[in-house]
């Protein structure tokens, strides 16, 4: 049987909520289970968070940029090492992405580089309209510093927490609860899933209301269908939300399991030449995926050797995200950094991290990798 990188993991509670949703006859992109799912996420994140359930994390980011005021030809500064869906919505709007490198100590956006470029941009009157830092592989960005910069330069901070639901940063604050607005993903490969889905989370009720309005085709209050602005069909279905309600029961359990999986990989494979994604002091990564890099200068193999060896044994692993500034579609965009993210792409691996992975399956993966070391 194939060992997957990250697949859905049901707990058994989902079926009860889905049956209830069917009995309610709300087989639609609205209903009591969607309302309850939004409330459950809001309660989990705390601090007056408003939530809007949507069809995907990408849809959530698209609406987050719109409600935060990003328009055509505005610049949006973003982590280069991220999933394409964390950047494409910038182009949907007609805005222009500018990419930034990672900090080697966290593998998240390098705030020092960002700060230096903001100073230059302020002097040249070309500040971005928004910044999108990515919580890479389940690790929260340096939100305290990013929020300071956002306020100083009056720039919207849109946090991409698609990979980090359940993680924490300093003082136990929940990933997804910071910035002006954040987005979550409930895709099938995430910590918890609604099969497909996402969410906007923000303390700004006006923004949340606007996002909800836009996500349901922007229908004005009228007896007939009337539209004064362009809307989208982005609302999460009530059935998918019912799955999410069941998944919320085990969110912390799923995070703890993935952290255990990471720890076992680390304890068994932490040798010279194998460098695991670091975790800054005071942070608690969700360890959505166990990420590491292979230093070919130290050990006589590279990351592709490991990926290919695992694949021959029916085990899925993958390189780290290819930075967006290296993608053909963004070849003309500006990039700031030393290329640390490029070096990670050229040496990095994501290992299987399913929360339902059996001990013997992880032992097999570790044994196969150890054969090459």
SS3 content of the chain, % helix, strand, coil (to 5): 40, 15, 40
Distance CA 232, CA 270 (A): 47
Average pLDDT over residues 144-148: 96
Domain limits at 151?
A: 13-248
Residue 242 has pLDDT above 80, yes or no: yes
Distance CA 286, CA 307 (A): 23
Last residue of a domain, one of 187, 217, 248: 248
Whether 42 and 93 share a structural domain:
yes
Whether 326 and 204 share a structural domain:
no
Among the ranges given (196-205, 221-230, 339-348), the one the predictor scored with the smallest mean pLDDT: 221-230
Contact 320, 80 (CB under 8 A): no
Last residue of a domain, one of 225, 248, 271: 248
Provide the pLDDT for residue 47. Answer: 77
% of the chain surpassing 70 pLDDT: 100
Whether 196 and 61 share a structural domain:
yes
Has residue 51 been placed in a domain? Answer: yes
Average pLDDT over residues 54-71: 98
Has residue 8 been placed in a domain? Answer: no
Confidence at 123, pLDDT banded by 50, 70, 90: very high
Q: What is the pTM of this model?
A: 0.96
CA distances (Å), origin 84, targets 134, 243, 321: 11, 26, 9
Q: Which residue has the tokens 């007939």?
A: 224
Whether 241 and 318 share a structural domain:
no
Whether 215 and 282 share a structural domain:
no
Distance CA 150, CA 148 (A): 5
Has residue 6 been placed in a domain? Answer: no
| pLDDT tens for each residue of 44-59 | 999 799 999 999 999 9
Do β-strands 96-100 and 335-336 pair in parallel, antiparallel, or remain unpaired? parallel
**Domain containing 116 — which CATH number?**
3.40.640.10
Provide the pLDDT for residue 104. Answer: 97
Confidence at 62, pLDDT banded by 50, 70, 90: very high
Has residue 63 been placed in a domain? Answer: yes
Whether 178 and 292 share a structural domain:
no
Residue 373 has pLDDT above 90, yes or no: no
Residue 90 has pLDDT above 90, yes or no: yes
Whether 241 and 335 share a structural domain:
no
Whether 176 and 294 share a structural domain:
no
Provide the pLDDT for residue 28. Answer: 84
Has residue 4 been placed in a domain? Answer: no
Confidence at 272, pLDDT banded by 50, 70, 90: very high
Helices (H) then strands (E): counts for the chain: 12, 14
CA 137 from chain center: how many Å?
A: 7
Provide the pLDDT for residue 336. Answer: 98
Q: What is the mean pLDDT of the chain?
A: 96
Confidence at 171, pLDDT banded by 50, 70, 90: confident
Identify each DSSP E strand in the chain by its residue range.
Answer: 50-54, 75-79, 96-100, 130-132, 156-160, 168-169, 173-174, 181-185, 198-202, 274-276, 290-294, 318-319, 335-336, 348-351
Whether 337 and 357 share a structural domain:
yes
Residue 269 has pLDDT above 80, yes or no: yes
Average pLDDT over residues 85-106: 98
Average pLDDT over residues 109-122: 98
Distance CA 339, CA 322 (A): 12
Provide the pLDDT for residue 296. Answer: 93
Do β-strands 290-294 and 348-351 pair in parallel, antiparallel, or remain unpaired? antiparallel
Distance CA 133, CA 63 (A): 16
Provide the pLDDT for residue 150. Answer: 97
Our count of domains for the chain comes to: 2
Whether 178 and 255 share a structural domain:
no
**Domain containing 259 — which CATH number?**
3.90.1150.10
Has residue 1 been placed in a domain? Answer: no
CA distances (Å), origin 370, targets 65, 231, 319: 45, 53, 18
Whether 234 and 266 share a structural domain:
no
Has residue 273 been placed in a domain? Answer: yes
Whether 264 and 229 share a structural domain:
no
Provide the pLDDT for residue 16. Answer: 94
Has residue 5 been placed in a domain? Answer: no
Q: Which residue has the tokens 């919320």?
A: 248
Last residue of a domain, one of 214, 248, 282: 248
């Amino acid at each position: 049987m194939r060992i997957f990188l990250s697949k859905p993991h049901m707990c058994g509670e989902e079926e009860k909520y889905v049956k209830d949703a069917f009995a309610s006859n709300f087989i639609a992109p609205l209903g009591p289970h969607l309302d309850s799912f939004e409330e459950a996420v809001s309660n989990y994140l705390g601090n007056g968070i408003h939530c809007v359930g949507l069809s995907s994390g990408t849809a959530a980011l698209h609406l987050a940029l719109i409600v935060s005021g990003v328009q055509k030809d505005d610049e949006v500064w973003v982590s280069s090492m991220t999933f394409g869906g964390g950047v494409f919505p910038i182009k949907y709007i007609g805005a222009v992405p500018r990419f930034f490198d990672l900090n080697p100590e966290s593998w998240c956006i390098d705030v020092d580089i960002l700060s230096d470029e903001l100073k230059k941009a302020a002097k040249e009157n070309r500040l971005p309209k928004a910044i999108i830092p990515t919580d890479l592989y389940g690790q929260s960005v340096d939100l305290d510093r990013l929020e300071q910069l956002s306020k100083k330069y009056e720039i919207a901070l849109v946090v991409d927490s698609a990979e980090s639901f359940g993680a924490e940063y300093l003082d136990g604050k929940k990933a997804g609860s910071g910035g002006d607005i954040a987005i979550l993903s409930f895709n099938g490969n995430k910590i918890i899933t609604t099969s497909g889905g996402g969410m906007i989370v923000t303390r700004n009720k006006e923004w949340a209301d606007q996002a909800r309005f836009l996500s349901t085709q922007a229908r004005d209050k009228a007896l007939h269908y009337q539209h004064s602005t362009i809307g989208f069909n982005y609302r999460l279905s009530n059935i998918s939300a019912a799955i999410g309600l069941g998944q919320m029961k085990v969110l912390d359990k799923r995070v703890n399991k993935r952290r255990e999986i990471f720890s076992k990989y680390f304890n068994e494979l932490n040798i010279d030449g194998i460098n695991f994604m670091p975790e800054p002091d005071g942070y608690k990564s969700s360890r959505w995926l166990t990420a590491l890099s292979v230093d070919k200068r130290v050990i006589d193999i590279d990351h592709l050797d490991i990926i290919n060896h695992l694949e021959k044994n029916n085990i899925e692993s993958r390189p780290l995200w290819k930075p967006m500034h290296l993608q053909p579609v963004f070849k003309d965009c500006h990039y700031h950094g030393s290329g640390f993210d490029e070096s990670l792409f050229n040496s990095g691996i994501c290992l299987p991290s399913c929360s339902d992975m059996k001990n013997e399956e992880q032992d097999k993966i570790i044994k196969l990798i150890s054969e090459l070391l």
